[in-house]
A and B are shown apart, each in its own frame.
Chain A
Amino acid sequence: MKYPKNGRFGEFGGKYIPETLVPAVEELEENYLKFKDDKNFKKELNYYLTQYAGRPTPLYYAKNLSDSIGGAKIYLKREDLLHGGAHKINNTLGQALLAKKMNKKRIIAETGAGQHGVATAMACAVLGMNAEVYMGYKDTVRQKLNVFRMNLLGSKVHPVQSGSKTLKDAINEAIRDWITNIETTYYLLGSAVGPHPYPVMVRDFQSVIGEEIKKQMKKINNKTPDTVIACVGGGSNAIGTFYPLVDTNAEIIGVEAAGHGLKSKRHSATLSAGSKGVLHGMMTYLLQDSEGQITETHSISAGLDYPGVGPEHSYLKDTKRVKYHSATDNEVIDAFLLLTRTEGIIPALESAHAIAEAVKVARKSKKSESVVVTLSGRGDKDVEEVQNYLNRHVKN
């Protein structure tokens, strides 16, 4: 859906927000529409994307990985090679530039694993702005190096003690800050979630991933990929990968975090196991109980630990254009180790969900077929988590 009318992707999306936010969200949409096709804005953004962030990223043929499975050719879209180590910088540069055009001096953001927080801190540092980042207390513990990175980059991190102390609570707290400082502050949301126009704006800034994949595959074999796979938490790298390919014949698969298994209640697989509802300004699939209270989620990767999902994914699920599968923590660790050992690439645990699915798909596919996986981030931040996991499981 090109630019969703009334901010709705089918029945999903919309703007369910406190009235105080309405003028700010309208101002944002007005400015986004003004600048998104503006020649100078695009030129400036492109400058930072290429010279600062390192675009375009390679589409790497993972021959060793493919050979070890013995099926389709697996290609990795190397967003992990971007400055900061994840796809998040595509969006933060875009939005920070927009905030600058809007003369907003103060930037706030939420972060889960810390990747979006770091990418925001970087974009703000290079563009001469100040950022304050809300991060669930639990996440500040499991990703403490990212907290320090943000501090080094000149950003202030606010640990969030409310609710489940993870990403969803960080978003609540960022929204509360925004309501309080509505006139001075720009809220730089990191995923394709929230009230309109965030889901469409974040998608557009991330669509550079899918656009490049299209061009690069064309160069490689003059085709679009047979299958495209990305992991889905809020869903920003996935929607950026999928959106430019929705009109092609490619099979598209989003992979959610199945945690301890979909039946365990300890997972974050919103589209696979959720139901419709309203959270963080949008109508979308949610993990909730029988009374509409949002339930606590679990994933080995902090970046996927979210009980909602971008509204366009809900739409793509219901229209059946995209399939949404899931990978358990165990499958993710296996995929993490497999990629690390065959290719010498340490993937983020988020991205390892997509790798796990790619292995399943490639195994069933012909050698002539191609599977493109978005490697949304690098795994340096997760090494300790993996070490703990392996220690626990070796003992057992």
Chain B
Amino acid sequence: MSRIKEKFSELDAKNQKALIAYVMVGFPNKNATISVVRGLIKGGADIIELGFPFSDPLADGPVIQNASTVSLEKGAKISKFFSIVKKIREETDIPLVLMTYTNILYHRGYSKFIKDAKKAGIDGFILPDMSIEESKEYIQAAKGSADTIFLVSPNTNKIRISKIVKASSGFLYLVAVYGTTGVKTGVQNYTLKAIKDVKKQTKGKIPLGVGFGVSTAEDVKKYIKAGADAVIVGSAFLKIIEKTPQAKLETVIARFTKNLKNSTHL
């Protein structure tokens, strides 16, 4: 069983929902990432998404774009990324998911990239520009070794949702809003409806996570209440990282995480 699957069944047994936290690795530097991850774990995050920057992050809003740029300017490299993952893996067994763009995997070759990532301690992948039509080789490469987490949107039709559910493992990622990551629009009625609709198709098959623009404890409560099995918070963490001195990062992140995690309890 994958670490992600195990985590969800463990939470299920406790009747709990998952808090998934996103951080851009190397933003603003390697040590900050390590401190942030420690804070996330201390605060009770269940799964951590580690972002690897791509030069052209077309699904991301200004906060993650900026973090990508900073990380690349500081010399982000895949080998360095994997060594940070290894370091994190030495400290924890928490599921780690890599979020990046298709070209990063394609360029090294799906199989080789996934093998190397797995070896470093990555459990699954999120590629926002990988549509199921183009995913055959990618899924093949990940099969049996890593989870392929696909995204659905509030405008995805029923038939397509069922195809995406079949292609997904670990969890299914519902994009909460029409927009890029980190855009604050508040909780929309169409999102709550989408959670209910998608949930009909995921129930008993795969957990449903909701992300994009989720930034406050209030948002978390509403999505969990609507039926989400997990919430994903990203840009909100990066904003804290941006303005917190490095020495205090772990504590500040832990406090914010704890507040979000508490909001997942109904």
Q: Which residues of B contact A292 (CB under 8 A)?
A: 54, 103-104, 106-108
Which residues B57-103 have CB closer than 8 A to chain A? 57-59, 61, 65, 69, 72, 77-78, 101-103
Does A281 have its Cβ within 8 Å of any Cβ on chain B?
Answer: yes
Counting chain B residues whose Cβ lies within 8 A of the other chain, the interface size class is 35 or more
Q: Which residues of B contact A337 (CB under 8 A)?
A: none
Q: Pick from B153, B157, B183 the residue with the most CB of A within 10 Å.
A: B153
Does B208 have its Cβ within 8 Å of any Cβ on chain A?
Answer: no
Q: Which residues of A contact B134 (CB under 8 A)?
A: 14-16, 283
Assess the B103–A279 pair: CB atoms within 8 A: yes
Assess the B58–A175 pair: CB atoms within 8 A: yes
Q: Which residues of B contact A281 (CB under 8 A)?
A: 129
Contact A163-B55, Cβ < 8 Å, known A20-B153, A20-B155, A278-B103: yes
Q: Of the listed stretches B24-32, B41-49, B174-182, B249-257, name the one at the interface; the rest are far from the partner chain.
A: B174-182
Does A23 have its Cβ within 8 Å of any Cβ on chain B?
Answer: yes
Does B207 have its Cβ within 8 Å of any Cβ on chain A?
Answer: no
Which residues A156-209 have CB closer than 8 A to chain B? 162-163, 168-169, 172, 175-176, 179-183
Q: Which residues of B contact A293 (CB under 8 A)?
A: 54-55, 72
Assess the B155–A182 pair: CB atoms within 8 A: yes
CB nearest neighbor in A for B130: A16
Assess the B157–A23 pair: CB atoms within 8 A: yes
Which residues A1-33 have CB closer than 8 A to chain B? 6, 14-20, 22-23
Q: Which residues of B contact A176 (CB under 8 A)?
A: 58-59, 61, 180
B178 contacts which of A14, A20, A278, A286 (Cβ < 8 Å)?
A: A20
Contact A291-B102, Cβ < 8 Å, known A20-B175, A179-B59, A280-B58: no
Assess the B133–A163 pair: CB atoms within 8 A: no
Q: Which residues of B contact A277 (CB under 8 A)?
A: 103, 106-107
Q: Which residues of B contact A14 (CB under 8 A)?
A: 133-134
Assess the A17–B106 pair: CB atoms within 8 A: no
Does B156 have its Cβ within 8 Å of any Cβ on chain A?
Answer: yes
Does B56 have its Cβ within 8 Å of any Cβ on chain A?
Answer: yes
Assess the A182–B56 pair: CB atoms within 8 A: no
Q: Which residues of A contact B106 (CB under 8 A)?
A: 276-278, 283, 292
Does B160 have its Cβ within 8 Å of any Cβ on chain A?
Answer: yes
Q: How far is the CA of A278 from the CA of B137 in the complex (A)?
A: 14
Digit string of B107-125 for contact with A (CB within 8 Å is 1, else 0)?
Answer: 1100000000000000000
Does A294 have its Cβ within 8 Å of any Cβ on chain B?
Answer: yes
Contact A22-B103, Cβ < 8 Å, known A175-B58, A278-B129, A292-B108: no
Contact A18-B104, Cβ < 8 Å, known A163-B55, A163-B56, A180-B180: no
Does A91 have its Cβ within 8 Å of any Cβ on chain B?
Answer: no
Digit string of B140-156 for contact with A (CB within 8 Å is 1, else 0)?
Answer: 00000000001111011
Q: How far is the CA of A275 from the CA of B153 in the complex (A)?
A: 32
Does A115 have its Cβ within 8 Å of any Cβ on chain B?
Answer: no
Assess the B56–A172 pair: CB atoms within 8 A: yes
CB distance from A268 to the nearest CB of B (A): 15
Does A288 have its Cβ within 8 Å of any Cβ on chain B?
Answer: yes
Contact A288-B59, Cβ < 8 Å, known A19-B175, A22-B160, A180-B180: no
Assess the B56–A288 pair: CB atoms within 8 A: no
Does B131 have its Cβ within 8 Å of any Cβ on chain A?
Answer: yes
Q: How far is the CA of A18 from the CA of B102 in the complex (A)?
A: 11
Q: Pick from A15, A16, A169, A182 the residue with the most CB of B within 10 Å.
A: A16
Contact A16-B129, Cβ < 8 Å, known A168-B56, A179-B59, A292-B107: yes
CB nearest neighbor in A for B105: A292
Q: How far is the CA of A20 from the CA of B190 in the complex (A)?
A: 14
CB distance from B78 to the nearest CB of A (A): 6
Q: How far is the CA of A5 from the CA of B152 in the complex (A)?
A: 24
Q: Pick from B54, B101, B130, B133 the residue with the most CB of A within 10 Å.
A: B133
Contact A23-B156, Cβ < 8 Å, known A172-B56, A292-B104: yes
CB distance from B236 to the nearest CB of A (A): 19
Q: Which residues of B contact A15 (CB under 8 A)?
A: 131, 133-134
Q: Which residues of B contact A278 (CB under 8 A)?
A: 101-103, 106, 129
Digit string of A230-249 for contact with B (CB within 8 Å is 1, else 0)?
Answer: 00000000000000000000
Which residues A253-270 have CB closer than 8 A to chain B? none
CB nearest neighbor in B for A164: B55
B56 contacts which of A17, A23, A279 (Cβ < 8 Å)?
A: A279
Q: Which residues of B contact A179 (CB under 8 A)?
A: 59, 178-180
Does B234 have its Cβ within 8 Å of any Cβ on chain A?
Answer: no
CB distance from B259 to the nearest CB of A (A): 28
Assess the A6–B103 pair: CB atoms within 8 A: no
CB distance from A231 to the nearest CB of B (A): 24
Which residues A275-330 have CB closer than 8 A to chain B? 275-281, 283, 286, 288, 291-294
Q: Which residues of A contact B160 (CB under 8 A)?
A: 22
Closest 9 CB pairs of A and B: A292-B107, A20-B153, A180-B179, A294-B55, A278-B103, A19-B153, A293-B55, A278-B102, A18-B59
Query: Can you add 11 more A-B contacts, CB < 8 Å, to A15-B131, A23-B156, A163-B55?
Result: A16-B129, A19-B150, A20-B153, A22-B160, A162-B69, A163-B69, A176-B59, A278-B101, A279-B56, A286-B103, A292-B108
